């Protein structure tokens, strides 16, 4: 008796097999399309939840300036949401009389400067001398937060600036000499200091800051501090981001003291002082905690500190960079200190904003391999 073997598998016609494969592939494609649609909808919902930044125009008038101070009790001239942009005018630190003495024609002195100096008097002025635009109240900012200030754009408002002569070695200055007026070439972004001496322009705001803690009272605009203020840091050009600790509700941000160009140290007490218009994006950062302001540019991380004692300011700025590397780059303190010595650049920011001098440390981003 012969036992039959297993029956051969039934072979589907070739067309039916192809159709089955095609259906399976179609089902896979449908599943991918569905998943893609879900992710797209989730992304659109997230984007809808995030408000589009609004740009606020803030012109400089007698009603929109804080003349010579940062103060937690100052009345805001503008309220914005976190992430909004201010398109803001600022005035140089001088007076119409001072500019006229230096040889500036009356029709080249800004009407806004004339109005501010004439109308903002008495207890509305001082104890410092800078004409600052603001304060701007940023919704959601609370003590302990950080205000992120992105410098999106800076324009020269006028075609001249000035440089005085005082600072750390005033014995070099000619007694009674008027400020030096320097023409600004806005097309080529240069300034001729003297025949054969041409200065490249790198405009920045010498003063960007927030109100200090209430117990500090009405703080002079002259010295920088933990609230930032008159940092005079030449690295804070377009593309830079400044991070400032917040000490009072709303942050109360102010900006001014425009510089067309400045060297580290600002040794004679002035840069090429001028009026600027800027676009700044102000964002509340709840995820950051800072003791001192920090900054970054496309090329560098920057720590900073101020103190009446240059040695103390230097040590603090170095320690701030070490702390940054420990917190953000997960280095040990030993490694971070070594890295600052090997690759960091310690610079005197300014020597003239008494009583505090300033120091900053730049660390190039290029030393870190992409992760």
In a domain, 83, yes or no: yes
What pLDDT shows up at residue 50? Answer: 74
Block mean pLDDT (10 aa), the chain, length 371: 48 53 56 54 57 96 98 98 98 97 98 98 97 98 98 98 97 95 98 98 98 98 98 98 98 98 98 98 98 98 98 98 97 98 98 98 95 66
What pLDDT shows up at residue 3? Answer: 44
Last residue of one domain, picked from the residues 275, 291, 307? 291
Residue 303 sits at the vertex; the CA angle it makes with 217 and 275, to the nearest 5 degrees, is: 65
Co-location of 308 and 261 in the same domain: no
16: left (phi over 0), alpha (psi -120 to 50) or beta: alpha
Please say whether the beta carbons of 276 and 258 come within 8 A: yes
Reference 112, options 75, 157, 55; nearest CA is 157
What pLDDT shows up at residue 51? Answer: 82
Co-location of 143 and 208 in the same domain: yes
- Long-range contacts, stretch 179-184, CB < 8 angstroms, 24+ apart: 179/94, 179/98, 179/99, 179/101, 179/102, 179/270, 180/102, 181/99, 181/102, 181/103, 181/104, 182/260, 182/272, 183/159, 184/156, 184/158, 184/159, 184/160, 184/260, 184/272, 184/274
Co-location of 273 and 325 in the same domain: no
Last residue of one domain, picked from the residues 259, 291, 323? 291
Q: What is the extent of the structural domain holding 238?
A: 55-291
What pLDDT shows up at residue 27? Answer: 59
Co-location of 196 and 68 in the same domain: yes
Co-location of 203 and 262 in the same domain: yes
DSSP per-residue string spanning 114-131: HHHHHHS-GGGB-SS--E
In a domain, 45, yes or no: no
Co-location of 201 and 310 in the same domain: no
């Amino acid at each position: 008796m012969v036992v039959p073997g297993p029956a051969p598998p039934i072979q589907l016609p070739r067309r039916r097999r192809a159709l089955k494969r095609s259906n399976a592939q179609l089902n896979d494609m449908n599943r991918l399309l569905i998943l893609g649609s879900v992710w797209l909808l989730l992304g659109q919902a997230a984007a809808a939840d995030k408000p589009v930044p609004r740009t606020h125009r803030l012109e400089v008038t007698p009603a929109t300036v804080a003349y010579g101070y940062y103060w937690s009790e100052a009345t805001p001239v503008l309220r914005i949401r976190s992430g909004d942009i201010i398109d803001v005018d600022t005035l140089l630190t001088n007076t119409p009389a001072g500019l006229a003495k230096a040889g500036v024609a009356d029709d080249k002195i800004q009407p806004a400067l004339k109005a501010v100096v004439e109308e903002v008097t008495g207890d509305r002025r001082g104890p410092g001398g800078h004409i600052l635009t603001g304060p701007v109240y940023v919704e959601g900012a609370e003590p302990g937060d950080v205000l992120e200030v992105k410098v999106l754009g800076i324009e020269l408002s006028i075609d001249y600036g000035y440089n005085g002569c005082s600072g750390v070695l005033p014995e070099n200055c000619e007694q009674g000499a008027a400020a030096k007026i320097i023409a600004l070439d806005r097309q080529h972004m240069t300034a001729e200091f003297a025949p054969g001496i041409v200065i490249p322009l790198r405009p920045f705001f010498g003063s960007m800051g927030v109100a200090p803690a209430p117990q500090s009272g009405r703080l002079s605009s002259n010295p920088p501090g933990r609230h930032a203020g008159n940092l005079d840091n030449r690295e804070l050009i377009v593309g830079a981001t400044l991070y400032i600790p917040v000490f009072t509700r709303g942050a109360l941000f102010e900006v001014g003291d425009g510089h067309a160009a400045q060297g580290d140290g600002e040794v004679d007490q002035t840069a090429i002082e001028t009026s600027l218009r800027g676009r700044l994006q102000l964002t509340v950062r709840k995820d950051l905690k800072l003791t001192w302001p920090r900054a970054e540019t496309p090329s560098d991380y920057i720590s900073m500190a101020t103190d009446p004692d240059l040695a103390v300011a230097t040590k603090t700025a170095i320690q701030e960079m070490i702390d940054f590397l420990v917190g953000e780059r997960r280095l040990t303190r030993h490694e971070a200190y070594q890295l600052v010595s090997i690759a960091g650049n310690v610079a005197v920011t300014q020597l003239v904003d008494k009583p505090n001098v300033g120091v900053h440390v730049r660390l190039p981003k290029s030393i870190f391999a992409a992760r």
